Amino acid sequence: MSLALFSTVSIFFFYIIFFKRNFIFGFKESFAIGLFFYIYIPIIIFYFYHDFLLSHYLNFNGYDNDDILKIQYLTIILIISFFLGYISLKKKVRIFNLNQNFSAREIILTIFIVSLTFFFRIPNINPVILLYILICILIFKSESKNIKKIIFFMIIGLFFMYLSINFSNARRHVVVIFMISMFFVSLFLNSKKFFFLIFLISLAAGIFFVFLVTHLRSFQISGIEVDFNFLPSLGGMISNYDFMSAFDNLVYILNLPDYLYGKTIFKIFYSFIPRDIWFSKPLDTNLLIVSLRQNPFVGGSSQSVTLLGEIFWNFGWIGTFLFFYLIGGVAKNFDLIKHSKLFDSQLIFLASMVYLIFIFWRGSISTSLVSYILNLSFLFITLFISKFIFRRRKN
């Protein structure tokens, strides 16, 4: 009965998200992909490859039915609260009343300034992502036909996926570029079938680059040269990607006796305090979970706990409902804004929110949010410096 309810609610959720009439890839679509990756894929593997997990991972002892039931019911609560938050918001809320457009030469100067950070590194600033957003804005503002713009988005997206491999060994940066690319492509497509065709092509390319990053990173760590395999084994997928280890940490968190009561969430307000001064400053959940247990699937100094796991660990069942109700409201606000006339500044915010919610699914919300704010602040400061320079020249 519980599995039937879980399956029905899940099918309804993904159908509403991806098959509505006026489709634009945005916040809620990215949220749904993160949910599928970190919750549904592990559940599918558990049901269909349970014996494989038991035989290949000595420290894995399986899950009780109660553990799976908890996650299924918690996911149902997540979906219901998300939809309630989505339908409850009727008017768009402008958190940042920043309606600014930038000329092509201002954006090009900003691209040049941001490119300098490849050579003069600024901590926590990711020039690959910032440059890609700026170039997408240029393409969006161009007078080319829509089909040409879509082709440009795809070609530039593939190039920046490749660039991220050489500049960073973080697989999430490839995913971020894919998310941004799909957002801009969807703005110009009226055909849902055509969008999904482009989505699948770009997804295949993204998976290729993610696997390639994993291959190169494994070589850097082990120093052993092995042939690149585009179709890794199930064991390789579980060991090299964090969906199964994150799910296992989630199961562990659901059985903990105490909550964190917002310690890791509110860390954003005091993250600037050095640990040398505040020795007992709370750890991120990604670090805290490693100090508490040995994951049967992976090791390392940082592990995912999933967005669901971090929220539940902090606030429990009621907090989970309230948080995802708020996320549903944010998703609705995103959709209300994207259908209005968009300024360049709004496009930057919307494009960045598309990938931010997926990054949140790994957990460590406060650290991800701090990095997001730093990058976006740097981008806007640079844009306004460029605008100021050209205004002075004009005067």
CA angle 336, 342, 345 (to 5 degrees): 110
Task: Give, in order, the Cα–Cα distances in Å from 45 to each of 41, 133, 180.
Answer: 6, 35, 29
The reported pLDDT for the residue numbered 231 is 65
Q: What share of the chain has pLDDT > 90, as a percent?
A: 35
Is the pLDDT confidence value at 220 over 90?
no
Task: Please tell me whether residue 171 adopts helix, strand or coil conformation.
Answer: helix
Residue 284's Cα: distance from chain center in Å? 17
Retrieve residue 122's tokens: 């600024």
Q: What is the DSSP string of 182-246?
A: HHHHHTT---HHHHHHHHHHHHHHHHHHHHHHHHHHHHHHH-------SS--HHHHHHHSSHHHH
| pLDDT band at residue 221 using 50, 70 and 90 as cut-offs | very low
Alpha-carbon distance of 101 to 73, in angstroms, equals 45
Is the pLDDT confidence value at 62 over 90?
no
Retrieve residue 177's tokens: 């570029």
Alpha-carbon distance of 133 to 114, in angstroms, equals 11
339-366 pLDDT tens trace = 777 888 989 999 999 999 999 998 788 8
Which range has the top average pLDDT, 19-28, 163-172, 321-330? 321-330
The reported pLDDT for the residue numbered 76 is 94
For the chain, what's the residue count?
A: 395
Residue 71's Cα: distance from chain center in Å? 21
Average pLDDT over residues 59-66: 87
Q: Are 168 and 120 in contact (CB under 8 A)?
A: no
Pick 216 or 76 by higher pLDDT.
76
The reported pLDDT for the residue numbered 163 is 81
Determine how many CB atoms are found less than 10 A away from the CB of residue 185.
Answer: 25
The reported pLDDT for the residue numbered 225 is 52
In sequence order, the 6+-apart residues with CB closer than 8 A to the CB of 210 are 171, 174, 175
Q: Which spans in 116-170 are helix H?
A: 127-141, 146-167
Is the pLDDT confidence value at 84 over 70?
yes
The reported pLDDT for the residue numbered 228 is 53
The reported pLDDT for the residue numbered 1 is 60
Alpha-carbon distance of 395 to 389, in angstroms, equals 10
Alpha-carbon distance of 25 to 131, in angstroms, equals 20
Alpha-carbon distance of 155 to 198, in angstroms, equals 12
Residue 196's Cα: distance from chain center in Å? 20
Is the pLDDT confidence value at 222 over 50?
no
In a 13 Å sphere around the CA of 311, the CA atoms on its Cβ side amount to 21
Task: Give, in order, the Cα–Cα distances in Å from 56 to each of 40, 137, 195, 304.
Answer: 21, 47, 39, 21
Task: Choose among 183, 209, 216: nearest CA to 335.
Answer: 183
| pLDDT band at residue 107 using 50, 70 and 90 as cut-offs | very high
Determine how many CB atoms are found less than 10 A away from the CB of residue 175.
Answer: 23
The reported pLDDT for the residue numbered 80 is 95
Is the pLDDT confidence value at 56 over 90?
no
268-321 pLDDT tens trace = 777 777 777 777 777 788 888 988 889 888 877 788 899 999 999 999 899 999
Is the pLDDT confidence value at 219 over 50?
no
In sequence order, the 6+-apart residues with CB closer than 8 A to the CB of 357 are 27, 30, 31, 34, 327
The domain segmentation of the chain, as residue ranges, is 2-394
Average pLDDT over residues 116-140: 89
Is the pLDDT confidence value at 226 over 70?
no
- Give pTM, 2 decimals: 0.91
Which amino acid does the sequence have at 256? L
Average pLDDT over residues 121-139: 90
